[in-house]
Structure 1
Amino acid sequence: MSDIKVPEMGESITEGTIAKWVVKQGDQVKQGDVLAELETDKVNIEISAEEDGVLSQILRQEGETVQIGEVIATIGASTGAPAAGSVSAEPKPAEKQEAQQPAVQAAAEPKQDSGSSDVAASPAARKLARELGIDLSKVNANDPIGRIRQEDVKQHTDRPQASSQPAAPKAAAAPAPEVPGKPVLRQPMSRRRATIANRLVEAQRTAAMLTTFNEVDMTAIMDVRKRRKQSFQEKHDVNLGFMSFFTKAVVGALKQFPLLNAEIQGEDILVKKFYDIGIAVSAKEGLVVPVVRDADRLGFAEIEKQIVELAGKARSNKLALSDLQGGTFTITNGGTFGSLLSTPILNAPQVGILGMHKIQLRPVAIDAERSENRPMMYIALSYDHRIVDGSDAVRFLVTVKSLLEDPETLLLEG
């Protein structure tokens, strides 16, 4: 028999949530088979069997929070069938399964209290609630994903209890805070969604965040793409998109305004002399920001290939921690969803994020007498005013605009 433990996943990750058991208790497994999927606040990982055998016991259920090194299941040796004609004192397979099932359930599932069976709670919380005779459905959860922990049960016992006098019968009410008679769907946040929510709120709470705007005439870039797109695709086996132009423009502007490539550590400012640019990608579980490393040293084709690869990994939950850590500045493109203007939120501890938006034909004055319809894009820079002055932020965005409107300069500045 061997234990299945939660593996090490990097210094910054200490726990995860069992998102899915791929196999069932009692299933035959082989070495290397995927047993379960573990969700963390950054990446999803697969937990595999290290030997052949039978998944004899599942100790932690889907949705439960587990710690690094914790045993979540056991694998036992395979058992063969009795020889033909032999008499065995063992129960028949069906009878044996029925006899063992209650014991397995008792080990894997806490005893269900009235009203508590559908409540998300840790095993320790369930045990304490049983001992104290508390209905878990009446306990308030402080966990961001709505899971009741042992501390929540203890806090519940400290609150004044309702009178023990029998109450007059009353009609069943709809669960608060839902509107009576209206259809709703209540579902817990995933660990990643809860972490994203907490990080965004924390960024707004701790940073002095401001946003400045400008607009870019995309005529020159669209002309380059029109003339070079096919030959670029044939030569590099990747499309010439807009992100490589914006990544290069951002790098060029960061070199001129280095405080936007910095972070605050206590009372110190850490100015980074490298350019690891995060590219926000929308995935099923929420926004993730994989990083294009050393973007200043990469050509257009290398940037485009990395973005395609990282986006694919994000959407298939294959990103590693190393893909997400250490970015110095972020670019997010709401224009892919039709956004015309927005104020992006900082990706802490970074102090700058550039928002791209939808390209839209708008009349632009060419001179005092002429105007033309041009493909225009609003761009937004959110920045941390604690270390970035407004004048630097405005000039940074103007520099990005200038580089994009004259793409040849990207070869020199980016």
Structure 2
Amino acid sequence: MERGELLEWAIEEGETIEEGELVAEVESEKSIGEIEAREHGVLRGTYLEPGETVPPGTPIAIIAAADAEIDDLKAEVDAELEDADGGNEPTDDPAAARGSSAEAATDDAASTAESAADAGKVSPRARKRAEELGVDLEGVEGTGYQGAITEDDVERASETDEGATAEVQASPRARKRGEELGVNLATVEGTGYQGSVTEEDVEAAAESVDDAGRSLREERPFDGMRRTIASRLGESYREAVHVTTHREADAEALFAAADAADDALEVDVSVQDVLLLAVSAALEDHPAFNATFEDDTHRLWTDHNLGIAVDVEQGLIAPVLRNVEEKSLEAVARERRELVGAALEGEYTMDDLQGGTFTMTNLGVLGVESFDPIINPPQVAILGIDAVAERPTRGPDDEVEWRRHLPFDLSFDHRVVDGADAARFLETLIERVEEPWSLLPEEVDAEAGVRADTAETEMPDRTVSASNAEGMAGTIEAGSFEWGYDEPEAAGGTETGPTPVDVFLGGLAACLSLSVRFQAEKRDAAVGEIDVTTDAEPEHGAVERVAATVRLESDADEETLERIVDLGERGCHVSQLLREDLPLEFSWERM
């Protein structure tokens, strides 16, 4: 934490407050914190306005008994504020400005010839209020700490400007339009009679704010958490030498292990929970990555405090799951769920965000296939997790099967660790992901998971189901088999799979090929490849015509092939499903 922003005061000066009651809310390092009264008393004075930022430890208020003498406390606060700003050059960052009591600030403002606006001493609330009221900060006299311009200063200047505006020659419609568009009439050059401001002058002035002619939809001040995020990302890129390496793991065992653990334990277990243990195991073997780098010192930590990136409304935060190396899978699953839930609900604390030694970020849930994560300083590495991809894989008997694969992206600081170190870390992680059973507690039946992963094919026995979650696409499941269906874009689909009619035509073509093969083998006919093409018309809507063409690779005589094909067509169970008024137009030819 480098600076904190005062969001709002919960009580007014002069009000009584009890011990433990809320005094103010502050925002810092992506967290909202509450300041509570340490004892009973009265809020005797404040030193910050809402929206102002200061370093940690800066006094912001005095609470004391109503009749207590506080001159010494005021002197102590003034001295601390003087020391905090002593020798500092003026900054261009308005968020770095700090307000204080009006009495202390007036003398300081009078001692400098430079305006507060020129020096950048404008509180965020004052700058925002100036934009709302159309007040030019140049020439506004600041009464805040060291001459900083406060919100009250802006409002006083606005009242003065309104008096000046009243003297501007302008038509009633121009004045009304100026209020609607937030245009200060004193700054508008009039083109009307004797230089009076017209409605057109006001609109032209409003449009001239953007010379490119763009229409502003919304302004989002770059402050609070977004400013902190930008600062840390900028620091990371300026300081760390980013390099990213990519590897991919067969994830079938990882999914099987998560399913087996979810069935055996009394807590919901996800793939991410097992993956946290796999990462911790890899860090144990490669401790250089469970580390931070500050002040030219590479610090390797014993505790595996893993940051888990969570996307909240204000930006990306990384609450920390502590001491993963000591936790069981059940504890990891429970604490990870609670930690992420608190982050999403905005109930996290500063403690939740501190002390991380390594960070994991998952964009795979959003379909991202590869990215280069940015290191979370002062850590030395971050692991990105991509979308699961299903790929054909050659099995031990040269058969091809579809298996799920999980890609990883490891970004590391090349000042601290080398590419070979990163490669070895990923190699260990891949081994843990592909053989995760040793990470699971004894009560999880690893053999059941292995059996599930290598189970024999389950035939559908003529029971097929189709599921459609949304849109026009869905999934067909038949025993151990699964494939998709969809509709063309013209019919509201996304063209990610065959249409239901295409699926039926595929079944018809497959059945015809097998039925013809059965007849050929029954007669010991030498038939090589059999290729069946099925067609349906029209292209969309109800089917009015179905045709099938069988092509055979064979040297058998015409009469034999004619007999084989005819019997094959009559023996095809799928062709028998066609309705009587939709006969199959059937033909054959040699290849």
Same fold (TM over 0.5): yes
Q: CA deviation at 1:168?
A: 7.2
* One-letter identity of the residue aligned with 1:38: V
Deviations along 1:316-341, whole A, 9 cap, x unmatched?
44434433332221111122333222
Maintained 8 Å contact 1:338/1:358:
yes
Range 270-279 or range 194-203, more displaced? 270-279
Cα distance in structure 2, aligned partners of 1:145 and 1:394: 47
Whose RCO is larger (CA < 8 A, sep 6+)?
Answer: 1
Superposed, 1:143-158 pairs within 5 Å as none
Q: CA deviation at 1:15?
A: 4.2
Superposed, 1:326-345 pairs within 5 Å as 326-345=355-374
Q: CA deviation at 1:150?
A: 6.5
Matched, 1:33 2:62: no
Maintained 8 Å contact 1:280/1:288:
yes
Cα distance in structure 2, aligned partners of 1:408 and 1:227: 10
Q: CA deviation at 1:212?
A: 0.5
- Cα separation, partners in 2 of 1:389 and 1:52, compared to 1, 3 Å: closer
- Find the counterpart in structure 2 of residue 213 from structure 1: 246
Superposed, 1:217-366 pairs within 5 Å as 217-232=250-265, 234=266, 238-366=267-395
Cα distance in structure 1, aligned partners of 2:241 and 2:122: 27
**SS of residue matched to 2:215:** coil
Q: CA deviation at 1:346?
A: 0.8
Maintained 8 Å contact 2:8/2:26:
yes
Q: CA deviation at 1:225?
A: 2.8
Q: CA deviation at 1:404?
A: 0.7
Cα distance in structure 2, aligned partners of 1:387 and 1:135: 44
Maintained 8 Å contact 1:129/1:135:
no
- Cα separation, partners in 2 of 1:185 and 1:175, compared to 1, 3 Å: farther
Cα distance in structure 2, aligned partners of 1:215 and 1:354: 13
Q: CA deviation at 1:65?
A: 2.0
Cα distance in structure 1, aligned partners of 2:311 and 2:422: 26
**SS of residue matched to 1:63:** coil
Where structure 2 has 5 or more consecutive residues not aligned to the other structure, the ranges are 67-93, 128-144, 150-186, 191-200, 442-591
Cα distance in structure 2, aligned partners of 1:210 and 1:141: 38
**SS of residue matched to 1:386:** coil
Cα distance in structure 1, aligned partners of 2:8 and 2:53: 12
- Find the counterpart in structure 1 of residue 50 from structure 2: 62
Determine which structure has more spread, i.e. the larger CA radius of gyration. 2
**SS of residue matched to 2:205:** coil
- Cα separation, partners in 2 of 1:177 and 1:368, compared to 1, 3 Å: farther
Maintained 8 Å contact 2:261/2:440:
no
Maintained 8 Å contact 2:253/2:435:
yes
TM-score norm. by structure 1 comes to 0.68
- Find the counterpart in structure 2 of residue 190 from structure 1: 223
**SS of residue matched to 1:172:** helix
TM-score norm. by structure 2 comes to 0.49
Misfit runs of 4+, over 6 Å: 24-28, 51-58, 73-77, 124-127, 129-133, 142-153, 166-170
Cα distance in structure 2, aligned partners of 1:288 and 1:151: 36
Larger helix percent? 2
Maintained 8 Å contact 2:44/2:63:
yes
- Cα separation, partners in 2 of 1:195 and 1:296, compared to 1, 3 Å: same
Cα distance in structure 1, aligned partners of 2:121 and 2:336: 38
Maintained 8 Å contact 1:146/1:189:
no
Cα distance in structure 2, aligned partners of 1:391 and 1:339: 26
Range 347-356 or range 335-344, more displaced? 335-344
Deviations along 1:337-369, whole A, 9 cap, x unmatched?
332221111112211111112223333444695
- Cα separation, partners in 2 of 1:316 and 1:62, compared to 1, 3 Å: farther
Superposed, 1:133-152 pairs within 5 Å as 136=117
Deviations along 1:369-413, whole A, 9 cap, x unmatched?
53333222221100111232212211211221121111114359x
- Find the counterpart in structure 2 of residue 44 from structure 1: 32
**SS of residue matched to 2:246:** strand
Matched, 1:71 2:52: no
Aligned identity (percent) is 32
Cα distance in structure 2, aligned partners of 1:338 and 1:54: 55
* One-letter identity of the residue aligned with 2:223: S
